[in-house]
Amino acid sequence: MAKDGLTARLTSAGLPVLHIHYSADTHKDPRTPEGAEWFASAIQGYPQGAQDPRWQKEMEIAYGALGGQLLFSLWEQYKPLVVIRPFDIGAHPHAKFYGTYDHGHIHKASYQVHAVLPDGHKYTVWECAGSQIPPRAMADIIKGNPVKLQRDGRTFDGNPFAGREVVRVCDPHLFERRGRMGDDPFDSVGDLFRDKYGVSFQKGHNGGELTVASWLIGDMWADPEDPKYQIFDTCKQLLFELPRLRYKQISSVMAKTKNQPEQLVDKMNDSWDSLCQFLRLFPSTVAPKPAKSLHGTFAWAQQQIKRRPLANTYSRL
């Protein structure tokens, strides 16, 4: 006999399974006044309310809710504040520009230009992303030249901020020494870009993606009236990836004995990796540095030691 909140099914092995949803209890059915009151109170224990993955798994019987949890689960709330139309940031007299590159061939390669204004606000202002872009073509794009690939006819605009980047940072894998092949004089793709195509990169760092995400959520986007990091809506690949980044999925059986892994799925994250190379250049502003001039602080004492090293104060008793 069918009833609201109760469902039954047979497994492939012929075993009966009965699902009992909280709405089967008339005192917890949100369609009733008493149930609506219980529901409003119950979801208070979950950070994201009824959309929280733990609520979905424990209360809505969605077994896979905790596996593959989105990194930016509130992206639809951030998007109207973070994604902006381009403005002439290049005309700002004190803007500083940074280039970041995540290399790929089968996967997408992504070169981004970011801007930092004197008030600390940061922007991603331009992006070129695509798969199977030869290093020669990508170098031309970075140097500001439009490119048309002979293989498939794809066209790419040149970097409008070419030559204005303070530094270009890349994924450290770009400089991996994989050994020479035949008479190729270049040990790595990074050498190829620098020595043959005239585009130099500074080696960046791996890891820390979750720290960057925490900084974005907890600091850069904490004030909805004044976000400290924004993205021009022309950066299509980055905006495609951000709402799709997710944690690695674990099965419901493993979830009984293991915590959810603190790792992201390594897929559709090329522009995200390029962005992380930029944000790693700037440590979080959440914890301010201690004042060096305040008498009696550890920072003050360290400055005094540097100026006047401690003398040997040992003496015989």
The dihedral over CA atoms of 229, 120, 47, 70, expressed in degrees to the nearest 10, equals 30
> Domain 78-243+272-279 is in which class?
alpha beta
Domain boundaries, the chain: 78-243+272-279
Distance from C-alpha of 265 to C-alpha of 210, rounded to nearest angstrom:
12
Distance from C-alpha of 230 to C-alpha of 73, rounded to nearest angstrom:
18
- Coil, strand or helix at 128: strand
Strands 202-203 and 165-170, bridge-based pairing: parallel
User: What is the pLDDT at residue 146?
Assistant: 95
Contacts of 196 (CB under 8 A, 6+ apart): 136, 186
∠ CA 73-78-79, nearest 5°, is: 105
Distance from C-alpha of 211 to C-alpha of 220, rounded to nearest angstrom:
12
Q: Which two tokens stand for residue 208?
A: 């820390």
User: What is the pLDDT at residue 2?
Assistant: 44
For residue 220, pLDDT beyond 80: yes
pLDDT digits (tens, 9 = 90+) for 6-34: 888 787 777 888 878 888 888 888 888 89
User: What is the pLDDT at residue 173?
Assistant: 86
Question: 44 pLDDT band (50/70/90 cuts)?
Answer: confident
pLDDT digits (tens, 9 = 90+) for 115-138: 999 999 999 999 999 999 999 999
pLDDT digits (tens, 9 = 90+) for 93-106: 999 999 999 998 88
Please state, rounded to an integer, the average pLDDT across all residues of the chain. 81
Assess contact for 107 and 280: CB atoms under 8 A.
no
